């Protein structure tokens, strides 16, 4: 196969099990505060003390995995504070936390892509690396994705029971380039994990963002990423040595292709955003929302029972 070695039926079935488990646990942790505290506070404390020091080795024990699991958990807890601490989401400084933690997570991966790009081909920390220009291409895509984060001043907390963190300006044309970039990152840097940690993990937060709870993509992303990182650091065999593991093809053509698609999509995103800034004369550097005139933005507000904003010019998305 182009991206991966052979995918047996039982590995394909496990892929759907992982996808379903992540979506289901995300729904549980977002709907019930007690479940969120148990899984994102109590469970990591137990795992940190008693489990991960013994299980997080090889490809799941690198500095990046440790940083990633705790940064994902920090995102979950910060978002829960915004959702449940009275009045916190009304403070502008508090609303800056989601874009900052998101930017840091993207920056971590960009650094790792550049680091891998300078390596020698071969086994590193239990993962077979094939460095090349694709690493630098995807690092550039990640930087574009980072600088196109916008509209954080418009974040609000939904009024329903789940009190979700809604970011209306984070729409599909940002989410999809992010997914393409992040898949390329995983494929470039931990290719033998990409079948699950790339495809299944990214789809597990994109499905809820489009069909279960619109506008809450970053919350879905933090939850599913933290869940996956905690699991793989505790049970690394699923993606490394079990019968369900699926190896990358390590094909330079595949590596180049996924990074080229990632870069092209993020270049298009950046061009569209610059065009929008010029047309609307809005300043995203201070968190100003760029896309309230779009139909996709209006549908997020309508889903929360909020009054639609009047567009400054006619546009659809």
- Strand runs labelled E in the chain: 122-124, 127-129, 156-157, 165-166
Classify residue 309: in a domain, yes or no.
no
Three-state secondary structure call for residue 123: strand
Q: Is residue 235 part of a domain?
A: yes
| Residue 308 counted as domain residue | no
CA distance 77 to 75: 6
Report if residue 266 sits inside a domain.
Answer: yes
Between CA 282 and CA 294 the distance in angstroms is: 14
Name the pTM for this structure: 0.93
Number of domains in the chain: 1
pLDDT at res. 313: 45
User: Which of 192, 229, 3 lies closest to 108 in space, CA to CA?
Assistant: 229
Question: Does a structural domain hold residue 246?
Answer: yes
Q: Which residue stretches of 118-148 are H helix?
A: 133-147
Q: Please give the residue range of the domain that contains residue 249.
A: 9-289
Residue 71 inside a domain? The answer is yes
In a domain, 296, yes or no: no
167: left (phi over 0), alpha (psi -120 to 50) or beta: beta
The answer to whether residue 254 is domain-embedded is yes
At residue 213, the pLDDT reads 94
DSSP string of 11-43, one letter each residue: HHHHHHHHHHHHHHHHHHHHH-HHHHHIIIIIH
In this predicted structure, what is the pLDDT of residue 175?
A: 98
Tokens encoding 201: 């993990």
What is residue 315's predicted lDDT score, i.e. its pLDDT?
44
Nearby residues of 125 by Cβ (< 8 Å), 6 or more positions away: 58, 59, 61, 62
DSSP 8-state symbol, 86: T
Q: What is the pLDDT along the chain (317 residues), one digit of tens a residue?
A: 799 999 999 999 999 999 999 999 999 999 999 999 999 999 999 999 999 999 988 777 787 789 889 999 999 999 999 999 999 999 999 999 999 999 999 999 999 999 999 999 998 878 899 999 999 999 999 999 999 999 999 999 998 889 999 999 999 999 999 999 999 999 999 999 999 999 999 999 999 999 999 999 999 999 999 999 999 999 999 988 999 999 999 999 999 999 999 999 999 999 999 999 999 999 998 999 999 999 999 999 998 876 555 444 444 44
Sign of the Cα torsion 56, 59, 62, 64 reads negative
């Amino acid at each position: 196969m182009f991206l991966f070695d052979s995918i047996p039926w039982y590995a394909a079935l496990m892929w759907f099990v992982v996808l379903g488990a992540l979506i289901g646990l995300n729904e549980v942790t977002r709907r019930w505060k007690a479940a969120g505290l148990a899984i994102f506070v109590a469970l990591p404390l137990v795992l940190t003390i008693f489990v991960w020091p013994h299980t997080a080795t090889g490809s799941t024990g690198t500095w990046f995995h440790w940083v990633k699991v705790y940064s994902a958990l920090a995102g979950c807890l910060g978002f829960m504070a915004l959702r449940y601490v009275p009045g916190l989401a009304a403070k502008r400084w508090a609303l800056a936390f989601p874009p900052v933690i998101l930017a840091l997570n993207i920056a971590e991966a960009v650094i790792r892509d550049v680091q891998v790009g300078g390596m020698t081909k071969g086994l590193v920390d239990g993962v077979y690396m094939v460095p090349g220009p694709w690493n630098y291409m995807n690092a550039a895509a990640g930087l574009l994705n980072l600088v196109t984060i916008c509209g954080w001043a418009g974040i609000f907390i939904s009024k329903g029971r789940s009190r979700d963190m809604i970011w209306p300006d984070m729409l599909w044309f940002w989410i999809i380039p992010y997914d393409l970039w992040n898949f390329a990152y995983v494929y470039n840097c931990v290719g033998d994990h990409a079948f699950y940690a790339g495809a299944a993990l990214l789809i597990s937060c994109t499905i809820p963002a489009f069909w279960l709870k619109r506008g809450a993509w970053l919350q879905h992303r933090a939850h599913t990423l933290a869940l996956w990182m905690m699991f793989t650091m505790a049970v690394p065999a699923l993606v490394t040595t079990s019968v369900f593991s699926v190896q990358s093809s390590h094909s330079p053509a595949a590596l180049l292709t996924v990074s080229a698609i990632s870069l092209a999509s993020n270049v298009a995103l950046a061009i569209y955003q610059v065009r929008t800034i010029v047309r609307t004369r809005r300043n995203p550097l201070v968190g100003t929302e760029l896309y309230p005139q779009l139909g996709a933005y209006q549908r997020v507000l309508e889903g929360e029972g909020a009054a639609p904003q009047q567009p400054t010019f006619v546009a659809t998305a």
